[in-house]
């Protein structure tokens, strides 16, 4: 007697994606038709109201040329067209609020982070299909992308729902804290606010846990940017570097860091500021390299704080740049170079300048 092999969760998701893809094809046409209907019904409702008001004005002048039938028809047409107008507006809002899509780019990246923290024999599957249940005793994690990807400055953002299908062996694999740590460890962003809707079962054994994350943002190892990085963007990045360097300075006690116009930080004991930024971009086969030279000036204002301490803080901060994502610029490559542009003598009140040179990688075309 032949036996039927049970579908795996991957099979179920593949089938669900095929069915969902059909809906996506019809979504665009449905959205357009609903938008056109909403505009048409709004016009008809306005015309109906205008006609009824005209009848009222005629009757109000003592003119009985408007028959009872005509007045009743106009009155009821206002009710009819108003209902159609309001109904089409609600339907359009619902379609625009939950757009059908077949996009799982962000889900694929979140799945990478999840795979790094769950047991290796647990299947992790990214999808755009809203798979909620699956009858199996195998543990799995399904990352559902709830909304289309939004591209901003090299970042890719979307809402995701992570469903953890547990079994007796893996009763508790993942929770919001573990998920957030896995995402942020890659430099990606998770909104700080808790999103209502998490469903974490306290019952050990087989079950489904659900974690919702709205607005999670990720970036590729080499993000895609339509335009070359601007001086403004790169100066902001240099300003962040200067601020981080300021936070590393050991001034012998707590200090209050205050931002400096143009990028940088100052305290009563020292100042670090962005003096200027030079940059040049070149593209080869769709991959852009932007060479950046950020001139960072610094000085101490007290003899008790050696200039070497501030200089070391800038160098240490610069060494953390490789692998960092810079908004609207790309990801910093390995090989940060630092050069002293002035004699680093340990004199208080004298400004010194260092050049921090680094490369930023991105792809063209988004």
pLDDT of 16 reads 87
* Centroid of chain to Cα 333: 22
- 37-65: per-residue pLDDT in tens? 999 999 999 999 999 999 999 999 999 99
CA–CA distance, 223 with 363 (Å, rounded to integer):
6
- Check residue 36 and give its pLDDT: 93
pLDDT of residue 4: 45
**Torsion angles phi and psi, residue 192, rounded to 5:** -75, -30
* pLDDT at position 112: 96
Q: For the chain, which ranges sit under pLDDT 50? A: 1-4
- Cα distances (Å, whole numbers) of residue 25 to 31, 90, 193: 11, 22, 34
* Token duo for residue 120: 């290796």
Which residue is it, tokens 């070497």? Answer: 308
The pLDDT of residue 290? 98
């Amino acid at each position: 007697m032949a036996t039927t092999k049970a579908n795996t969760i991957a099979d179920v998701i593949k089938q669900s994606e095929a069915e969902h893809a059909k809906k996506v094809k019809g979504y665009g046409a449905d959205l357009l038709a609903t938008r056109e209907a909403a505009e048409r019904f709004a016009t008809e409702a306005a015309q109906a109201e205008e006609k009824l008001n005209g009848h009222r004005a005629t009757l109000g002048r003592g003119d009985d040329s408007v028959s009872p039938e005509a007045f009743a028809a106009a009155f009821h047409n206002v009710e009819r067209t108003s209902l159609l107008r309001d109904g089409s507006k609600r339907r359009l809002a619902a379609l625009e609020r939950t757009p059908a899509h077949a996009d799982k780019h962000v889900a694929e990246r979140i799945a990478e982070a999840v795979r790094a923290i769950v047991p290796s024999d647990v299947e992790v599957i990214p999808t755009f299909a809203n798979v909620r249940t699956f009858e199996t005793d195998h543990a799995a994690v399904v990352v559902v992308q709830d909304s289309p990807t939004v591209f901003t400055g090299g970042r890719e953002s979307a809402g995701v729902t992570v469903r953890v299908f547990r079994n007796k062996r893996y009763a508790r694999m993942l929770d919001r804290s573990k998920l957030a740590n896995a995402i942020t460890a890659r430099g990606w962003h998770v909104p700080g606010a808790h999103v209502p809707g998490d469903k974490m079962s306290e019952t050990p054994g087989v079950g489904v846990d659900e974690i919702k994350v709205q607005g999670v943002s990720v970036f590729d190892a080499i993000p895609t940017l339509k335009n070359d990085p601007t001086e403004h963007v790169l100066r902001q990045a240099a300003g962040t570097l200067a601020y981080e360097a300021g936070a590393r300075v050991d001034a012998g006690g707590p200090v209050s860091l205050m931002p400096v116009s143009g990028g940088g930080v100052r305290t009563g004991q020292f100042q670090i500021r962005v003096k200027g930024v030079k940059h040049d971009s070149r593209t080869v086969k769709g991959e852009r390299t932007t060479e950046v030279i950020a001139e960072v000036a610094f000085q101490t204002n007290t003899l008790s704080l050696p200039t070497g301490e501030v200089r070391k803080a800038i160098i240490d901060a610069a060494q953390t740049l490789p692998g960092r994502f810079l908004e609207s610029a790309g990801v910093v490559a390995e090989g940060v170079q630092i050069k002293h542009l002035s004699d680093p003598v340990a004199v208080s009140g004298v400004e010194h300048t260092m050049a921090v040179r680094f490369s930023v990688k991105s792809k063209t075309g988004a």
